[in-house]
């Protein structure tokens, strides 16, 4: 019933804002007082975000229009190049935010927004919105990526326990194989973005094997992909994904199964897998009537670390920034910087707030309250590494390298090819 009500709510919002929810909708035509917003939210997410913008309009009287596209990085560059920038953009990739800021295309958000960011967000979130010492806007939404989905009924029937360390996870997968199960489901197919699921795995493993300091140096380009520590993370991923019997359908399935459909075999009878690593946004793409929770059909645990007391989180999300110099655009940024701005989306599901002051009671489900608590209590949170890297690498050679690695290209060659995406003079 909860899933039905959520779908009904979102469907109603889509009907009310249909032109704002298509993959590349035509913008509304209006006066200069309309704030044009550009982002990567589409479909149900676009409808939910439109509800956030509608509440902003109700409170301020400032009208908005929204366009969402799957090709955000290329389209924002095209719009700026064509002299038609949006007033506000939601950047899912900090690397693109930095590119726009350093090229002079972003506008300072004003003291109100800067103060709200400094007072309302954790240090890691502030750092990602800061380019060359200047804060450009607030985080609006984040997704928790370091999650492993599993079926509690099978765990209970077989006596499996949720692993607290990496060694326990490895032991559990070995036990599953002995019991006749295929442990993992994994799919990387995502049209032009195929490979990003693999990069998420590598990022999580670098964090767990070598800690946040090494992770930060690697993401910034100071540590190359050919470094032995990065190689170790790839090799660990290979032991999970490339060994026979570890992944349902093997290498072929990894390369051909759509990202968010990879979990589907878990709900077959008998189940085709018992574990899959995917972000919190998997919630919106579960089969109909599947219930989430310890007593439900599926639940999650955080991908274990080497040390049970030191478990980092990998996250993704969007930063809002202004590309035109207007009072209305700054007003929208100030609104998005407030914890209350996310309430309309949280009520229908699929939203987690990066704001430290967000009220957990505003979440529409126990599952999302749990995720919010994870973010609030985590000692180490790091943003998706590929989205921070030089785009030619992070969303270029790194993505392609994951495809090559799964396809059977030798690891040393894969690492060299990924590193070749950096210019020769890069540090």
Q: Which two tokens stand for residue 168?
A: 């326990």
Strand partners, 319: 91, 139
Confidence at residue 231, expressed as pLDDT on a 0 to 100 scale? 98
CA distance 120 to 143: 18
The DSSP-derived string for 43-102 is HHHHHHHHHHHHHHHHHH---EEEEE-TTHHHHHHHHHHTT---SEEEES-HHHHHHHHH
User: CB neighbours of 157 closer than 8 A, spacing ≥ 6?
Assistant: none
DSSP 369: H
**Taking a C-beta distance cutoff of 8 angstroms, is the pair 292, 285 a contact?**
no
Q: Are strands 134-135 and 147-150 parallel, antiparallel or unpaired?
A: unpaired
Look at the block and give the residue holding tokens 């574990």. 275
| Length reported for the chain | 427
Confidence at residue 425, expressed as pLDDT on a 0 to 100 scale? 62
Per-residue tens of pLDDT for the chain, all 427 residues = 333 333 333 333 333 333 333 334 333 333 457 999 999 998 888 999 999 999 999 999 999 999 999 889 889 999 999 999 999 999 999 999 999 999 999 999 999 999 999 999 999 899 999 999 999 999 999 999 999 999 999 999 999 999 999 999 999 999 999 999 999 999 999 988 899 999 999 999 999 999 999 999 999 999 999 999 999 999 999 999 999 999 999 999 999 999 999 999 999 999 999 999 999 989 988 988 999 999 999 999 999 999 888 899 999 999 999 999 999 999 999 999 999 999 999 998 889 999 999 999 999 999 999 999 998 888 899 999 999 999 899 999 999 999 999 999 999 999 999 999 999 865 4
Query: Domains in the chain, please, with CATH?
Result: 2-143+316-377 (3.40.190.10), 147-313+384-419 (3.40.190.10)
pTM: 0.87
Confidence at residue 377, expressed as pLDDT on a 0 to 100 scale? 87
User: From edge to edge, which strands make up the β-sheet containing 299-302?
Assistant: 276-277, 147-150, 299-302
CA distance 234 to 253: 19
């Amino acid at each position: 019933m909860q899933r039905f009500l959520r779908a009904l709510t979102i469907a109603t919002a889509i009907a009310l804002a249909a032109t704002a929810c298509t993959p590349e909708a035509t913008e509304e035509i209006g006066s200069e007082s309309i704030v044009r917003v550009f982002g990567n939210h589409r479909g149900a997410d676009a409808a939910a975000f439109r509800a956030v913008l509608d509440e902003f309009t109700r409170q301020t009287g400032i009208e908005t229009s929204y366009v969402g596209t799957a090709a955000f990085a290329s389209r924002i560059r095209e719009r700026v190049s064509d002299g038609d920038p949006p007033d506000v953009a939601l950047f899912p990739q900090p690397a693109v935010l930095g590119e726009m800021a350093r090229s002079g295309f972003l506008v300072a958000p004003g003291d109100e927004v800067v103060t709200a960011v400094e007072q309302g967000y954790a240090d890691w979130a502030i750092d990602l919105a800061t380019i060359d010492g200047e804060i450009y806007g607030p985080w609006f939404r984040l997704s928790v990526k370091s999650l492993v989905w599993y079926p509690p009924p099978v765990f209970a029937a077989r006596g499996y326990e949720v692993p607290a360390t990496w060694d326990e996870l490895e032991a559990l997968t070995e036990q599953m194989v002995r019991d006749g199960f295929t442990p993992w489901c994994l799919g990387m197919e995502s049209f032009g973005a195929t490979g990003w699921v693999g990069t998420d795995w590598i990022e999580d493993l670098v964090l767990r094997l070598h800690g946040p300091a090494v992770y930060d140096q690697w993401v910034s380009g100071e540590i190359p992909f050919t470094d032995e520590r990065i190689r170790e993370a790839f090799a660990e991923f290979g032991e999970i994904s490339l060994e026979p019997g570890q992944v349902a359908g093997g290498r072929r399935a990894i390369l051909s199964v759509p990202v968010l459909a990879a979990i589907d075999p878990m709900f077959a009878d008998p189940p085709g897998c018992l574990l899959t690593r995917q972000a919190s946004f998997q919630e919106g793409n579960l089969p109909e009537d599947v219930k989430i929770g310890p007593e439900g059909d599926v639940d999650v645990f955080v991908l274990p670390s080497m040390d049970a007391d030191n478990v980092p989180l990998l996250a993704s999300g969007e930063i809002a920034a202004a590309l035109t110099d207007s009072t209305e655009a700054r007003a929208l940024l100030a609104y998005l910087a407030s914890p209350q701005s996310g309430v309309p989306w949280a009520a229908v599901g699929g939203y987690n707030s990066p704001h430290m002051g967000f009220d957990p009671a505003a979440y529409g489900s126990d599952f999302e309250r749990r995720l919010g608590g994870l973010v609030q209590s985590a000692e180490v949170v790091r943003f998706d590494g590929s989205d921070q890297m030089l785009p030619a690498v992070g969303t270029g050679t790194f993505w392609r390298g994951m495809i090559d690695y799964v396809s059977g290209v030798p690891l040393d060659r894969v690492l060299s090819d990924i590193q070749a995406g950096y210019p020769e003079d890069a540090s």
